């Protein structure tokens, strides 16, 4: 069950609005969540003719579509798909502004049935689209030691030695009984001496593997030159170092081609006031690039 009165606050809303180019006509919001960035862009920029938005979670998609359709239904093209399918949706259209918010929705952490949180006991799932694909339960209970070790090394940034130790513990444990719930996984990690912060990082690593998040970000970055109009922009909000390093390096590579320029030399981060009001925003970084040729 999801806790009631959950409010997913948009991160750096004003900074996003300030980064839009003048008079945009076609917008892509690659991670809609509850539509706060989308609705504010549509209200502030009357020149927008069409806004494509994507959200993979079927529940959030349905809820947000019902909320936005009465006021913005004529302008929004609703897509219950991954942002990796952008090329097949836009076809030969080019976007004037692409917004990518890579934050995990707060609802995911508060819903015991989704398995994202170390603080709520529930079944291991961790899929953004919990109707399709391999779950965290499948990964925890089927991946061999080398594959688990790679997850913890690449996505949790543990040493190879520590990663292998965790992987062997999981494999040894599941021989007797499957690891089915979040608390069972957390208890197993606690037995290795891992505290709350380390457990959260391990959970994040499983979530990244479950949803192929890093692979998808790489695919997304590769599509930017193909779907962006000349003299228009792409802004990406990241929430952990793995994502930010990818975005930072790819934007730098694009800028070195002279076909793009960095709108901000350094990542924009939330203000002190925003962090005090919305603690999960403290790790956010916003980078913007513009296509000039």
User: Domain of 21: which CATH number?
Assistant: 3.40.50.150
Is it the case that residue 5 has pLDDT exceeding 60?
Answer: no
Residue-wise pLDDT tens digits, 193-210: 999 999 999 999 999 999
User: What pLDDT, on the 0 to 100 scale, is given for residue 115?
Assistant: 86
Distance between CA atoms of residues 123 and 179, nearest Å:
9
Whether residues 195 and 143 fall in one domain: yes
Distance between CA atoms of residues 124 and 50, nearest Å:
38
Residue 157 placed within a domain: yes
User: Domain of 147: which CATH number?
Assistant: 1.10.150.170
Distance between CA atoms of residues 31 and 28, nearest Å:
9
Residue 82 placed within a domain: yes
Residue-wise pLDDT tens digits, 161-194: 999 999 999 999 999 999 999 999 999 999 999 9
Whether residues 220 and 88 fall in one domain: yes
Domain closes at, from 185, 212, 239? 212
Identify whether the C-beta of residue 247 lies closer than 8 Å to the C-beta of residue 238. Answer: yes
C-alpha distances in angstroms, 46 versus 26, 69, 228, 288?
Answer: 11, 17, 20, 22
Q: Sorting pLDDT into bands at 50, 70 and 90, what band is 111?
A: confident
Residue 2 placed within a domain: no
User: What pLDDT, on the 0 to 100 scale, is given for residue 53?
Assistant: 86
Residue-wise pLDDT tens digits, 226-240: 899 888 999 999 999
Whether residues 41 and 71 fall in one domain: yes
User: What pLDDT, on the 0 to 100 scale, is given for residue 276?
Assistant: 93
Cα separation of the two ends of the chain: 50
Whether residues 90 and 142 fall in one domain: no
Identify whether the C-beta of residue 76 lies closer than 8 Å to the C-beta of residue 44. Answer: no
Domain closes at, from 175, 196, 212? 212
Round the average pLDDT of the chain to a whole number and report it: 90
Range of the domain at 21: 13-107+214-291
Whether residues 28 and 89 fall in one domain: yes
Environment class of 54 (CB within 10 Å of its CB; exposed 0-12, middle 13-18, buried 19+): buried
Whether residues 186 and 256 fall in one domain: no
Enter the DSSP assignment of 51: E
Residue 236 placed within a domain: yes
Structural domains counted in the chain: 2
Residue 8 placed within a domain: no
Whether residues 103 and 247 fall in one domain: yes
Whether residues 61 and 103 fall in one domain: yes
Distance between CA atoms of residues 9 and 6, nearest Å:
9
Strand ranges of the sheet holding 76-79, from the earlier edge strand across to the other edge? 76-79, 50-54, 26-29, 95-101, 228-238, 285-291, 260-262
Is it the case that residue 157 has pLDDT exceeding 70?
Answer: yes
Residue 268 placed within a domain: yes
Residue-wise pLDDT tens digits, 255-269: 999 899 999 999 999
Residue 282 placed within a domain: yes
Percent of the chain that is helix, strand, coil (3-state, to 5) = 50, 15, 35
Q: What is the mean pLDDT of residues 270-279?
A: 92
Range with the poorest average pLDDT among 77-86, 146-155, 253-262: 77-86
Residue 32 placed within a domain: yes
Is it the case that residue 85 has pLDDT exceeding 90?
Answer: no
Whether residues 94 and 141 fall in one domain: no
Whether residues 151 and 273 fall in one domain: no
Pairing state between β 50-54 and 228-238: unpaired
Q: What is the pTM of this model?
A: 0.89
Q: Maximum CA pair distance of the chain? A: 62
Whether residues 52 and 176 fall in one domain: no
Domain closes at, from 191, 212, 233? 212
Whether residues 194 and 250 fall in one domain: no
């Amino acid at each position: 069950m999801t806790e009631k009165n959950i409010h997913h606050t948009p991160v750096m809303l004003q900074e996003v609005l300030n980064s839009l180019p003048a008079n945009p006509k076609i917008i892509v919001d690659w991670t809609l969540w509850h539509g706060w960035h989308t609705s504010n862009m549509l209200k502030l920029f009357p020149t927008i003719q069409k806004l494509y938005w994507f959200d993979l979670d079927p529940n959030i998609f349905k809820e947000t579509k019902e909320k936005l359709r009465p006021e913005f239904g004529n302008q929004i093209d609703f897509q219950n798909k991954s942002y990796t399918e952008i090329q097949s949706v836009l076809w030969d259209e080019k976007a004037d502004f692409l917004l990518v918010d890579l934050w995990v929705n707060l609802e995911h952490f508060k819903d015991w049935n989704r398995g994202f949180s170390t603080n709520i006991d529930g079944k291991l799932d961790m899929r953004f689209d919990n109707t399709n694909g391999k779950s965290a339960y499948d990964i925890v209970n089927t991946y061999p030691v080398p594959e688990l070790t790679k997850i913890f090394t690449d996505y949790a940034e543990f040493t190879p030695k520590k990663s292998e130790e965790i992987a062997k513990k999981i494999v040894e444990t599941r021989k007797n009984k499957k690891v089915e719930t979040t608390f069972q996984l957390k208890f197993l990690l606690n037995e290795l001496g891992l505290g709350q912060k380390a457990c959260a990082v391990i959970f994040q690593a499983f979530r990244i593997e479950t949803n192929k998040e890093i692979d998808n970000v790489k695919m997304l970055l590769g599509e930017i030159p193909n779907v962006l109009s000349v003299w228009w922009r792409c802004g990406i909000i990241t929430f952990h170092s793995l994502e930010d390093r990818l975005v930072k390096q790819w934007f730098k590579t694009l800028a070195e081609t002279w076909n793009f320029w960095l709108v901000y030399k350094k990542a924009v981060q939330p203000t002190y006031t925003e962090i005090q009001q919305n603690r999960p925003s403290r790790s956010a970084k916003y980078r913007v690039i513009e296509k000039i040729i």
